[in-house]
């Protein structure tokens, strides 16, 4: 937004603010899901992150460097070396095989034929398409075409991965399979990911944090647990009111610090949802239960009543 201009003044001039007052830090290895209805500004925001759209105010930093200050050549190099992008439209080259589609960005980088084909085969196997490297896009299903798009973006080994509603054109069963595949890839690769969706269930399933947008602004940016338990605005509350909280909230989301509290017995796994722990919560007589991380270290305590309130509803 130009300095000294209000949003009302911009609107009076016949313009709209595509993104306004957004301030977000994305940590290394984090998956941030940006969601909102059509026209909320989520795709515009991600295009600003990669400078496909230039911004009119503020800064965008990658590893502490303001990309708005980069020359065109520096920006091209940043995108080629650090950023991978996957969009809803697969954008595959119809006259090229799967192998040649995946190797295409490496060809644009100037990599020699043998090295780029070797790298392309690695990521083709990673996304489960080995044996189909000589197929053309028309010979693949929608889900397989999307895998080719994902493999192509991974071929350059990006540090940052932007995905703009990559699964929305797929039918529900294939979409679920692709989400499973995506989670598997993220566990293996640990990329920094910004993922756009308008599907709240998808956001809850994938995200470390969710940013919910409306009219170009972020209404709330927080973990799935906190968004479901403590929606910051009425708009966010509408997204969460029909959600089964027990299937979203994890034990670690209800933690209290130990602070010298005496807790006994086997700890429960903090990454498990309250729904997954339901039988144990109902049958375990302890009022306070230790909670452990994935390495088995105790990270806090869970109050049984608070967990049962999520599971059964507050009294």
Domains of the chain listed by start with CATH number:
17-243 (3.40.50.300), 246-312 (3.10.580.10)
Mean pLDDT of 153-161: 87
Residue 257 is predicted with a pLDDT of 87
- Predicted confidence (pLDDT) at residue 207 exceeds the cutoff of 80: yes
- pLDDT band, very low/low/confident/very high, at 181 (cuts 50, 70, 90): confident
Judged against a pLDDT cut of 80, whether residue 89 lies above it is answered with no
Instruction: Specify the pTM.
Output: 0.83
Q: What average pLDDT does the segment 88-93 reach?
A: 78
Position 315 scores a pLDDT of 67
Residue 6 has pLDDT above 80, yes or no: no
- Of 1-5, 51-55, 157-161, 271-275, which range is least confident? 1-5
CA dihedral 126, 128, 131, 135 (to 10 degrees): -100
- Identify whether the C-beta of residue 85 lies closer than 8 Å to the C-beta of residue 31: no
At residue 222, the pLDDT reads: 95
Separation CA 102–CA 138 (nearest Å)? 15
DSSP codes of every residue in 95-157: TS-HHHHHHHHHHHHT--HHHHHHHHHHHHHHTT-TT-TT--GGGS-HHHHHHHHHHHHHTT-
**Average pLDDT of the chain, as a whole number:** 87
The pLDDT, as a whole number, for residue 117 is: 92
Instruction: Bin 110: left if φ > 0, else alpha if -120 < ψ < 50, else beta.
Output: left
What is the C-alpha to C-alpha distance for residues 185 and 165, in angstroms, rounded to an integer?
17
Q: What is the pLDDT of residues 248-279, one digit of tens each?
A: 999 999 988 887 767 778 899 999 999 999 99
Of 249, 261, 315, 260, the closest CA to residue 286 belongs to 261
Q: For tokens 């049958």, what's the residue?
A: 283
The answer to whether residue 286 scores a pLDDT higher than 80 is: yes
Question: Over 90: is that where the pLDDT of 195 sits?
Answer: yes
Q: What is the mean predicted confidence (pLDDT) over 61-82?
A: 89
Least confident of 25-34, 169-178, 246-255: 169-178
Which has the higher per-residue pLDDT, 42 or 89? 42
Confidence of residue 66 (pLDDT cuts 50, 70, 90): very high
Strand ordering across the sheet containing 298-303:
255-256, 298-303, 288-292, 268-269
Average pLDDT over residues 207-216: 93
Where in the chain does DSSP place strands (E)?
31-35, 61-62, 65-66, 83-87, 160-164, 192-197, 209-214, 217-222, 255-256, 268-269, 288-292, 298-303
């Amino acid at each position: 937004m130009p300095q000294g201009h209000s949003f009302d003044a911009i609107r009076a001039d016949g313009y709209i603010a595509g993104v306004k007052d957004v301030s977000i830090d994305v940590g290394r290895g984090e998956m941030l899901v940006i969601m909102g209805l059509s026209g909320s500004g989520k795709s515009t925001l991600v295009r600003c992150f990669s400078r496909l759209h230039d911004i009119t105010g503020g800064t965008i930093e990658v590893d502490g460097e303001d990309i708005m200050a980069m020359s065109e050549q520096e920006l091209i190099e940043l995108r080629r070396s650090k950023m991978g992008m996957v969009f809803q439209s697969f954008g595959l080259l119809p006259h090229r095989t799967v192998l040649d589609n995946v190797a295409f960005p490496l060809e644009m980088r100037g990599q020699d034929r043998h090295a780029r084909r070797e790298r392309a085969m690695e990521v083709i196997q990673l996304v489960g398409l080995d044996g189909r490297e000589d197929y053309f896009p028309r010979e693949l299903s929608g889900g397989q075409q999307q895998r080719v798009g994902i493999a192509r973006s991974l071929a350059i080994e990006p540090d940052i991965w932007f995905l703009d509603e990559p699964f929305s054109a797929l039918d529900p069963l294939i979409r679920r399979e692709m989400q499973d595949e995506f989670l598997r890839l993220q566990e293996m690769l640990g990329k920094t990911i910004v993922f756009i969706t308008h599907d709240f269930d998808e956001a809850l399933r994938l995200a470390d944090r969710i940013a919910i947008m409306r009219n170009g602004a972020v209404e709330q940016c927080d973990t799935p647990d906190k968004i479901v338990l403590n929606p910051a605005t009425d708009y966010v509350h509408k997204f969460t009111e029909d959600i089964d909280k027990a299937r979203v909230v994890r034990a670690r989301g209800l933690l209290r610090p130990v602070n010298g509290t005496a807790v006994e017995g086997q700890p429960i796994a903090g990454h498990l949802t309250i729904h997954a722990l339901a039988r144990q919560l109902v049958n375990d007589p302890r009022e306070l239960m230790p909670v452990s991380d994935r390495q088995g270290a105790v990270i806090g305590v869970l109050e049984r009543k608070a967990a049962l309130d999520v599971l059964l509803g507050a009294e």
